[in-house]
Structure 1
Amino acid sequence: MKLAPIIDPGARKPGPKPAQVDLHRVFFLGTALWLVAAIVCLILVLCGINAVKSLIVCVAGMIIGVLLLTWEHFNRWYYRRLGK
């Protein structure tokens, strides 16, 4: 193990360049999956199966997904410029 990079930051290798990603697709896909799970849980609740807690978790996942999509919309410029 070499101690030079720990002691002297100038001896470190340069880090990799950040990859340019599209968080909109990721957040939208995750929110869509929570929506599908919520529909399944709603059908189970309507059939008489006790899945109310699961439905609440799915709704919370959709709310978080919408909040993340909103954040991504307003901060897209900041994280997209890091990958250039």
Structure 2
Amino acid sequence: MKIAPIYDPEQRRETPQAEQVDLHVIFLVGTLLWLIPSIAFAAMFFLHGSFHREFMICIWGLIFGISGLVWELYNRHLYRLLALMQQ
């Protein structure tokens, strides 16, 4: 293990460049993945009449996913600009 990069900035490796990412796709896929089990649990609720806490977990996953999509819509320019500034 080399100790020189800790105290000598000249010995450090160059930091990697920031990548352009599209968080819209990530939030959308995650939300759709929460939608599948929530439909299954909703069907179980309507067929059997019993409420499962797993259904609420799926609903919270959908709420967080939709909130992430809304956040991404309003802040897309900020995180894209940050990646461009670091190049």
**TM-score over 0.5 (shorter chain):** yes
Identity of aligned residues (%): 39
Deviation (angstroms), 1:51: 5.4
Match of 1:10 in 2: 10
> TM-score, with normalisation over the residues of structure 2?
0.84
Q: Kindly provide the CA deviation profile for residues 30-84 of structure 1, in whole angstroms up to 9, marking residues without a partner as x.
A: 1112112110111122232755201100000000011111111111112112333
Summarize the alignment of residues 1-84 of structure 1 with structure 2, pairs less than 5 Å apart.
Answer: 1-48=1-48, 50=50, 52-84=52-84
> TM-score, with normalisation over the residues of structure 1?
0.87
Number of residue equivalences = 84
Deviates more, 1:55-64 or 1:2-11: 2-11
Structure 1 unaligned regions, length at least 5:
none
RMSD across aligned positions (CA): 1.6
Consecutive aligned runs of 4 or more in structure 1 exceeding 4 Å deviation:
none
Structure 2 unaligned regions, length at least 5:
none
